[in-house]
Chain A
């Protein structure tokens, strides 16, 4: 009913009202940020976004399972034979063609996220037809490079971001 804004030309009164409205709207919009940001991982969760693992005591052929961001990560110290098998595989013929060299930073060490790429189960080590892992849920077989070889899983086991801090420490994440 009472139209306070003169539609023809902006007056000083319009300017005051518009400034006030813009100011208020900005304030209200900013207020939303804390309410949204609180949904993000909190400091205690972020503090666990990277983990350090001591690998000095893993023997050749042995492996270590560490929890990283709520998921298991397999760290496997591969034997010379295993490395050879992994490297000699013709990657081009695999369901998800990746060379072994693309999947490791140091060929002695394989670091993969231990979650089956099919539906998220955790594969079992040293099982399956290819000397790597076997997922009991729907029968996916992974080789010693964590590559999918047989079964319903669409891609190879994911390689997480990691680095060797020194000879005995791997930092994942």
Chain B
């Protein structure tokens, strides 16, 4: 068995930033395991621009953003293995992986950083009636086919779901000569950024139909047409509102789910809301020495926040390797209430926490002219007015250690949405 201080599972934006920060925090023995043939993860296929505005103050494309972090990993001489699939992680931090050159091998790690990212919700999870012909792709699969492999998945396209990848692919397919006929969104609001709705749909005259869903897929060998219908407040199709579109391709952009099969093998506790691990302020899971960051922890909308979060996980994993587990004196639970769906982290340790801890969360619906509030016990310590909040945009509050120290007896911090 090989030994490493830190094994990072996944070489995408989260894994790269976590490994780099762990190295800079003084840990030399680090290994990144990546299943694809290249580092950079999903950014390699996100060839559009708009990445890195927060981190680099310029708009980069996905591959350019990834390259900056890859260069850092190369400069720091961090070891990595490509084309390597991790099969199992145990609670004792034994990582089992395999690839074509080494065969199956095991590594004993002192700390593990989970950075496996997320995957798209597939057709099977959407309960769409109709035949099962060729021509139905998740938007991300189509993105990989077009941008990496150089194939066009179809000529006439209907898209279900208005997540950002779906919107980006509406534009991408149009630029490559396909006709995108309509984007249907089940919810009464889009899950994508406004900028993408304008620049990917409006620019090309592609209609977005809110409160609509696919009710039938036609075609036996290949998709020949799609029927969409309006849905009522109960999310059920309204009879009589059906519209038929002839097409050869259906793209699905219906949400992303953290990919935690490996976390489960190690016994990591998952949140039923985010489908990601439950972590404390150091991004450590319930299993000592196993940390999580990026989209495997909760799905982000900006890669800048993934990098920040991952750097934090890398720093904390390094600290754990050097100092071992600090006997935790106390944990305060962070409760999400009144419109806040979840928070990451879920608990905070007032003694061991950094001077400031960023708590990220999403709201459950669109809120206008409201306020984010935070309570230490029963006392309101923050009220920040927001003109608009939407489920598609991650929000955050910052907890200061010095301030929390003034409330030594509380057992709970609450984050809510209230009227302004």
Q: Are A and B genuine complex partners?
A: no
